[in-house]
Amino acid sequence: VRYPAEHKEEVRERIVDAASRRFRRAGAGVGIGQLMKALKLTHGGFYRHFKSKDDLFAAALTKAFEDSRERITQMAAEAEKGRELEALISFYLSDYHCAEVAGGCPVAALAPEIARYRHSRAVRSAMDRCVREQAAFMSRYMKGRTEEERQQRALALLSGMAGSLALARAVSDEGLRQSILSGAREYFQNNF
C-alpha cells in the first residue's frame, strides 16, 4: 500500500496525541499494542515511527506540556484583565480538571513515574526542557522583581497545585476530594 506524502507525519502525530492522553490517564505502563489498536493499527508498525517506547514517552510528555501552555494562553485571553492568574488557579483546581486526567496537567498525572523513567536519556532531556519552558512561559503571570524569581514562583505554584490535584484524584470519597480541592484553591488564591 502506498500512502500520500504527508500520511506518515499525520499518523505519527495521531500516535503521540493518543499516547499523551493514555499515559496521563493510565500511567506509563500503557502498552504499545493497546495504543496502536485504539488507532486501528497493529503493534508492528509502531517502530516505523519511534525507535522505542521511551522515545514515544518523551514525545508524549512534550505534547502534554505544549497543550497545557496552549490552554493557559486561551484561558488568559478570556479572563478579566489583571485576573489571569486567578482564573488559572481556579481552573487548575476545578472539578473539571480533577476529572479530566487524560487531557490535564502532566505534572499532576505523571511526576513520580517520570522520576522513575529517568533511565532513558530521551525522557530525561525532554522533561528538563519541558519544565524550563513551562517556567519561562508561566513567569509572565507571576509577581516578582526578577525573571528568575518569577520563574521560580511559577514552578512552586505549578508543582504545588499539581500535588493537591493528584491527592484529590487519589481519594475516593467525594466529600474528602471536595475538601482537598477547596482547601487548595483557598490557599493558592490567597498566597500568589
Partner DNA sequence: TGTACATCAGTGAACGCGCGTTCACTGATGTAC
Which DSSP letter does residue 102 get?
A: T
Q: In whole angstroms, how close is the CB of 116 to a second copy at the nearest point?
A: 6
Among 31, 33, 45, 112, binds a second copy (CB under 8 A): 112
Distance from the Cα of residue 148 to its chain's centroid:
23
For residue 73, give the H/E element and its range: helix 53-78
75 binds, among a second copy, DNA, none (CB under 5 to 8 A by kind): none
Task: Decide if residue 44 touches DNA (CB under 7 A).
Answer: yes
CB under 7 A: which stretch of 45-53, 92-100, 153-161, 165-173 binds DNA?
45-53
Nearer to DNA, 23 or 92 (CB): 23
Name 22's Cβ contacts closer than 8 Å, sequence gap at least 6.
30, 34, 35, 38, 102
CB-based contact 184:164 (threshold 8 Å)? yes
Residues at the contact surface with DNA, assessed by CB under 7 A: 1-3, 7-8, 11, 30-34, 36, 40-49, 52-54
